[in-house]
Structure 1
Amino acid sequence: MQLPNGKKVYFSSDNHLGAPTKEASKVREAIFVKWLDEIKEDAAAIFLLGDLFDFWFEYKHAVPKGFVRVLGKLAEIKDSGIPIYFFVGNHDLWMENYFEEELNIPTFRKPQEFEFNQKTFLIGHGDGLGPGDKGYKRMKKVFTNPFSKWLYRWLHPDIGVPLAQYFSVKNKLISGDDDAKFLGEDNEWLVQYCKRKLETKHYDYFLFGHRHLPMEIKLKEDSKYINTGDWINFYTYAEFDGNELYLKKHPVNG
């Protein structure tokens, strides 16, 4: 895509709407919707890099209650002609075709390559990539197994949804506690993943979420990794203006 003059591409991740409480989530949802309203004026495309919800499960005839404001805003923006791309995160693993059918928003489960103004991007959520984290990788195989999803679907939504939300919020990182800390380049799995990818192909930018930490790391002179942070503690996002990619913070007040 060649961006028209004055247009930008926006990237955000890890809203975890629904956590840690419905009341706290609505406050953060309103901030995010306000941001979407602001960026729609000059957005050429919007990328949501996963974990928009703290829990999401699609039954055959039902989806989790709530999130009307953000879903309505996404529908409005998409209907106006602005492309939106959604990457499934580890908390919305059980997303099926709701976004594609109801909002006309394509969803991806693996990192995807994009090109804007002759700059190459590799974009994804970031979970399960790179070395290590073997426990999570095993767990992800179980949760994404069709039989596991079939079994869970037999739980009535009045039981299945609050049960999953309870266990999800129990994770301190997701509920917003300050457990996410920079581990150093040698120990950040996504940094290692990016460096390995560069051994076989050049990318100008790598964009991921999942870590809940805004990060901007130069991998090579002409290659950079950016983590978009979250909308729990940092309210950060990335913005590509056609020439450079910037990590920015949305003001919580005002």
Structure 2
Amino acid sequence: MSEVCALFISDLHLQPAHPATSAAFFDFLERHARHAQQLYLLGDLFEYWAGDDDIADPFHTQVVAALRAVSDAGVAVYWVAGNRDFLVGARFAEAANLTLLPETWIAEIGGQRVVVLHGDAQCTQDIKYMEFRAMVRQPAWQAQFTAMPLAQRKAIVAGLRADSRKEQSGKSYEIMDVTPEAIAEVFAETGADVMIHGHTHRPALHHIGDKRRYVLPDWEADATPPRGGWIAIDAQGAITRHDLSGAVVQ
């Protein structure tokens, strides 16, 4: 593989309760991300984000410093919001020295026209989630929420997470997965040849005619066996999937 142009990760759900996953992330940044030209974080880097005023939390400070070190090494770092950390804003971006991207972003990488996104907006069969998503992505809702005391916001988030776990236990994988229609719409609107997204925790490569859709894995290095990995695009446009060890996944 020639020089790495871009690396893509998502769904790490970083939290102090999962130290092995955090350690795997820091190792990835040091051993791999620092040597790429670009790093794309495609959502749910954190288990949750209650607002940028939580950046002083010691664990969050550690994550921000690690990202900043990658950026300071000359790597362009990009952020696409996930369903858990869509409240990441300008203060976080400035501290980590990264660029906040819109929900759908088109990039020319290694001669490939690539569209990147988190993937939750394409799970259109999950009606209740789509209604919730439409509400919390409104600037007015976010302004009202972030005006609350941080402790209150964290308590609300904890309740929402508990409710989400209960609801997901009764939903089929099909409902929580992206729909072919929504994926086709993104390809049609962007003219992309390649799509990379996360969210579903169902890593795979899907061929759709002459298009390719890559799904990133979630990270759980504390699990047995451990899960996680990334996608790389080199200067020649070759795309490879990697597990946590860095080995290529066929």
**Which TM-score band applies after superposition, normalised by the shorter structure?**
0.7 to 0.9
Deviation at 1:87, TM superposition (A): 0.3
* CA distance in structure 1 between the partners assigned to 2:34 and 2:95 by the alignment: 23
Instruction: Map 1:1-254 to 2 at 5 A.
Output: 6-18=3-15, 22-24=16-18, 26-58=19-51, 61-63=53-55, 65=57, 66-129=59-122, 131-168=124-161, 171-172=164-165, 183=174, 188-199=177-188, 202-220=191-209, 222-232=210-220, 234-242=227-235, 243-251=237-245
Structure with greater helix share of residues: 2
* CA distance in structure 2 between the partners assigned to 1:179 and 1:231 by the alignment: 23
Deviation at 1:130, TM superposition (A): 5.8
Percent identity of equivalent pairs = 18
Unaligned runs of 5+ in 2: none
The one-character-per-residue Cα deviations of 1:120-158 (angstroms, maximum 9, x if unpaired) are 100011111264333222111221223322332343222
Distance 1:35 1:248, change over 3 A: same
* CA distance in structure 2 between the partners assigned to 1:123 and 1:247 by the alignment: 15
* CA distance in structure 2 between the partners assigned to 1:54 and 1:200 by the alignment: 30
* CA distance in structure 2 between the partners assigned to 1:190 and 1:33 by the alignment: 33
Deviation at 1:172, TM superposition (A): 3.6
Unaligned runs of 5+ in 1: none
Does the Cα contact within 8 Å between 2:7 and 2:33 map onto a contact in 1? no
* CA distance in structure 2 between the partners assigned to 1:67 and 1:133 by the alignment: 31
The amino acid of 1:244's aligned partner reads A
* CA distance in structure 2 between the partners assigned to 1:161 and 1:197 by the alignment: 33
Deviation at 1:201, TM superposition (A): 5.6
The one-character-per-residue Cα deviations of 1:164-185 (angstroms, maximum 9, x if unpaired) are 1353256449xxx99998649x
Deviation at 1:190, TM superposition (A): 4.9
Does the Cα contact within 8 Å between 1:54 and 1:165 map onto a contact in 2? no
* CA distance in structure 2 between the partners assigned to 1:138 and 1:180 by the alignment: 16
Distance 1:156 1:205, change over 3 A: same
* CA distance in structure 1 between the partners assigned to 2:140 and 2:45 by the alignment: 25
The amino acid of 1:15's aligned partner reads L
* CA distance in structure 1 between the partners assigned to 2:244 and 2:94 by the alignment: 30
Aligned length: 239
What TM-score do you get using the length of structure 2 for normalisation?
A: 0.82
* CA distance in structure 2 between the partners assigned to 1:227 and 1:158 by the alignment: 34
CA-based RMSD: 3.0
The amino acid of 1:102's aligned partner reads A
Equivalent position SS for 2:3: coil
What TM-score do you get using the length of structure 1 for normalisation?
A: 0.81
